[in-house]
Structure 1
Amino acid sequence: MSESGNLKLAVLIDADNAQASIVEGLLAEIAKYGTAHVKRIYGDWTLPNLGAWKDTLLRHSIQPIQQFRYTKGKNATDGAMMIDAMDLLYSRNFEGFCIVSSDSDFTRLASRLRESGMTVYGFGEQKTPEPFVAACDKFVFTEVLREDASNDASRRKSGKELKHDAKLVALLRHAVDSAADDTGWASLGPVGSAIAKRSPEFDSRNYGYAKLSGLLKATQLFDLEERAVGRGAQKAIYVRDPKSASGA
């Protein structure tokens, strides 16, 4: 098994539940986790509503899979994706899957892939049902992947708003506490890992911050410190919860 960040990935996109505008950001995000050895997108390409995808598919070498709608009201695309996913699983050529959809129908597929030892990354809009989100190792909301997302200052939550988000504060404090050493300080990497285990959908970009360190600093609830690592010039960020430290 390759280390996280260098996994052999299969990318399966539900064209009916994803937008072409996210593709640039989507593929850049996927590259953080590994290499996309397969990129397939499923839909009925005879329908005009998928026309926006066509130039994008050619530019990024994404293979379109034609799936006719045999019965009105029934989504044959989901079934085709699931069958292909299991075929790819049994090929034993992959270490992870990226499922791009906001459809809860893929909840069982994500669970099944994880049961087989696969790492599963989900990508969907914020309306994605919680069961599908929870079934993935990590879930990224596609709103943060659009081309204009990084320039949208209106998405950034203020320190006051962050402090009043009880769920967020509890998540951050638990992660820092679980990763902290005897002095109360924790390296940012393990903090991020602890957060991901408890909340697959967590992403500092959902709050308007590019990095976890920026979000932690904005809450004004934590001490952050930059330290030199080893003999080189490389530095790492450490974080401490003063509330926990004072009670230690």
Structure 2
Amino acid sequence: MPDANDLLAVLIDADNVSPARIDSVLAEVSRYGVASVKRVYGDWTKPNLRSWKDAASAHVIQPIQQFDNTTGKNATDSALIIDAMDLLYTARFQGFCIVSSDSDFTRLASRIREQGITVYGFGERKTPESFRNACDRFTYLEVIETPVADDAVESTPVRAQVPAVKLRTDGRLVSALRASVGSAAGEDGRANLAAVGSLLRKQQPDFDSRNWGYAKLSDLIRATGLFDVETAPNGGVMVQQRRKAA
């Protein structure tokens, strides 16, 4: 479980992320720890990155200049990767937040995890599966707070809750929930919700109840109608697969 005092390095690929989303990203990052280092990488001579100036200044994010020295080669990615490895070797950080939808960071995420350091990925739904699965946890930008519309990004509506009938026909979701509840359950068949959530994210780093329009995992599980969810005497939440009527 993340600790509120964990030191995090937040590394942003400006070529892949609009500044209109940075408020939402940093709010989400704050759930996992303290953003001790915040850097955004790009070629700031390019007109399309001009809108990052105000966002970087407002959030005290250090802009890192990287010229595109060779056509067709992403020098920005290389600069971010080199900095990430330098920061990793300081052994100061409990987590790295990589903000990009680019699969080029797949090996970087894997390498950081080899050191026992948590990797949080943030990107759009188009992010390749390889990068999503290389992270400990991956959050889609579309499911965190709706970005403010500007000239670069159109406002995205908040996702409506998927109704119960559709949740129950989502085979991948139902299988994942049943498997995780079964694995976390004790002899009485009940499982702690926190343990269920941990198992789900280990199997699917991009698992997030907000992907289906539900703010909490307990809300999503209740909505399926396949599980009983109740509060335990110690204040925890317990989940049990609902038995079929005889």
8 Å contact kept, 2:11–2:38: yes
* Other-structure match for 2:78: 79
> TM-score scaled to structure 2, two decimals?
0.91
* Other-structure match for 2:69: 70
* Other-structure match for 1:118: 117
- In 2 relative to 1, CA 148–91 (structure 1 residues): closer, same or farther, beyond 3 Å? closer
> What 5-or-longer segments of structure 1 have no aligned partner?
230-234
* Other-structure match for 1:163: 168
8 Å contact kept, 1:144–1:206: yes
1:50-65 alignment runs, 5 A limit: 50-65=49-64
Secondary structure of 2:41's partner?
A: strand
User: How far, CA to CA, are the matches of 1:95 and 1:226 in structure 2?
Assistant: 31
Spell out, residue by residue over 1:21-40, the C-alpha distance to the aligned partner (whole angstroms, 9 max, x if none): 22111111111111111000
State the shift of 1:228 in Å: 3.0
Range 68-77 or range 3-12, more displaced: 3-12
> TM-score scaled to structure 1, two decimals?
0.91
* Other-structure match for 1:205: 210
* Other-structure match for 2:101: 102
Secondary structure of 1:182's partner?
A: coil
Letter in 2 for 1:176: V
How many residue pairs are counted as aligned between the two chains? 239
* Other-structure match for 1:241: 241
Secondary structure of 1:97's partner?
A: strand
Query: 2:39 aligned with 1:34, yes or no?
Result: no
Spell out, residue by residue over 1:137-174, the C-alpha distance to the aligned partner (whole angstroms, 9 max, x if none): 1111111123369x945532111111111000000111
* Other-structure match for 2:130: 131
| Larger helix fraction of residues | 1
8 Å contact kept, 2:20–2:147: no
* Other-structure match for 2:152: none
- In 2 relative to 1, CA 50–152 (structure 1 residues): closer, same or farther, beyond 3 Å? same
- In 2 relative to 1, CA 3–145 (structure 1 residues): closer, same or farther, beyond 3 Å? closer
8 Å contact kept, 1:9–1:36: yes
* Other-structure match for 1:16: 15
Letter in 2 for 1:180: A
Aligned match for 2:222, one of 207, 210, 217 = 217
Letter in 2 for 1:167: R
8 Å contact kept, 2:2–2:32: no
